[in-house]
């Protein structure tokens, strides 16, 4: 079947659920993943065809998308901070807002005069996107990454191998950790922060497919992970060490109050590209 003709029918079927632009973006993501072809290739070679076997694969993907399975899970991969990451049902799909957090950390570190080796701990690493991106862009850093999920860590380890970085992975429940056993220059975390009361704001493709363990916290204890991590950071950050968080957009004020209450200094609250309170930074 002619690929250009199939493209039209693929987009038409998915447009009622996703809109024309997103449906089209799905088509080209799959085309690049399955055939290593880009939009320009199809424009320059309008005679390109799918085999019958390929049409069956594409029809299945279209049906899965219509069931709101995330495209990243269907392809098994996604891009983050210029790198490729394996993603599956055991890990969250990395978000653009988290790229901003990574960029903030890298920029802060690159502008420091001290060029000695630093130690970084990423808590709740999931796919490893934060830890791996930092290790790739701060090659002199020693990076550690912790997660409660053994399956998530298997994915993170594979991503570290694929991206050719060395990271020490730790399987622990941070809420049960009383001593990190060593000190760090930077501690960063994107922990669960979506309250149950906010579930109605979450799209079905996220709610039905991404791991709730990495997403949700109780309404009456929304900062449970932040409180624990901040307490550990007070004891295990080196002098002038930095603590970075991705946060719930509705709890920026509460996060600053939490950090002030623990005597952190130089507290910053930063908005993401969508204008939401999304990141904090503080120093001991």
| 104 and 132 fall within a common domain | yes
216 is a domain residue: yes
| 115 and 252 fall within a common domain | yes
72 is a domain residue: no
179 is a domain residue: yes
Q: How far apart are CA 253 and CA 255, in angstroms?
A: 5
Q: How far apart are CA 138 and CA 131, in angstroms?
A: 10
Beta-carbon contacts of 58 under 8 Å, excluding residues fewer than 6 positions away, are 6, 10, 30, 34, 50
pLDDT confidence tier of residue 117, bands split at 50, 70 and 90: confident
- Of 12, 45, 67, the residue at which a domain comes to its end is 67
Per-residue pLDDT, averaged over 53-71, amounts to 96
| 203 and 267 fall within a common domain | yes
264 is a domain residue: yes
| 36 and 85 fall within a common domain | no
| 144 and 202 fall within a common domain | yes
pLDDT of residue 199: 87
pLDDT confidence tier of residue 36, bands split at 50, 70 and 90: very high
Regarding beta strands 265-271 and 277-283, do their DSSP bridges make them parallel or antiparallel, or are they unpaired?
antiparallel
29 is a domain residue: yes
- pLDDT tens digit string along 217-263? 999 999 999 999 999 999 999 999 999 999 999 999 999 999 999 99
CA distances from 176 to 128, 147, 180, 228 (A): 21, 12, 11, 9
| 227 and 274 fall within a common domain | yes
pLDDT of residue 113: 67
pLDDT of 283 strictly over 70: yes
Q: What's the predicted TM-score (pTM) here?
A: 0.92
- Of 46, 67, 88, the residue at which a domain comes to its end is 67
129 is a domain residue: yes
What mean pLDDT, rounded, does the chain reach?
Answer: 95
Full domain range(s) for residue 120: 78-283
Give the pair of three-digit tokens for residue 190. Answer: 């994107």
Q: Domain tally for the chain?
A: 2
| 85 and 61 fall within a common domain | no
| 44 and 142 fall within a common domain | no
73 is a domain residue: no
Among residues of the chain, what percentage have pLDDT more than 70? Answer: 99
Integer Rg of the chain from CA: 21
pLDDT of residue 111: 79
pLDDT of 114 strictly over 70: no
| 174 and 207 fall within a common domain | yes
| 57 and 116 fall within a common domain | no
Residue 126 maps to which CATH number?
3.40.50.150
| 134 and 267 fall within a common domain | yes
pLDDT of 65 strictly over 70: yes
């Amino acid at each position: 079947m002619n690929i250009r003709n199939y493209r039209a029918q693929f987009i038409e079927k998915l447009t009622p659920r996703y809109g024309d632009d997103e449906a089209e973006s799905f088509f080209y993501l799959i085309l690049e993943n399955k055939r290593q072809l880009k939009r320009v290739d199809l424009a320059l070679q309008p005679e390109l065809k799918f085999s019958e076997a390929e049409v069956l694969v594409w029809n299945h993907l279209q049906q899965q998308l219509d069931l709101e399975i995330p495209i990243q899970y269907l392809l098994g991969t996604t891009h983050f901070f210029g790198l490729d990451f394996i993603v599956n049902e055991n890990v969250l799909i990395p978000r653009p807002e988290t790229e901003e957090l990574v960029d903030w950390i890298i920029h802060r570190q690159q502008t420091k005069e001290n060029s000695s080796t630093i130690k970084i701990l990423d808590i709740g690493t999931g796919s490893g996107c934060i830890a791996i991106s930092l290790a790739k862009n701060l090659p002199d850093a020693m990076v550690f990454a912790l997660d409660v999920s053994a399956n998530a860590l298997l994915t993170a380890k594979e991503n570290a191998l694929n991206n050719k970085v060395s990271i020490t992975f730790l399987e622990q429940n941070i809420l049960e950790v009383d001593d990190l056993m060593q000190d760090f220059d930077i501690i960063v975390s994107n922990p669960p922060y979506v309250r149950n009361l906010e579930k109605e704001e979450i799209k079905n493709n996220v709610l039905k497919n991404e791991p709730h363990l990495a997403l949700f916290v109780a309404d009456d204890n929304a900062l449970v992970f932040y409180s624990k991590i901040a307490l550990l950071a007070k004891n295990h950050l080196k002098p002038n060490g930095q603590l970075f968080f991705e946060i719930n957009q509705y709890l920026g004020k509460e996060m600053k109050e939490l950090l002030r209450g623990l005597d952190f200094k130089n507290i910053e609250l930063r908005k993401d590209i969508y204008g939401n309170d999304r990141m904090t930074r503080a120093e001991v």
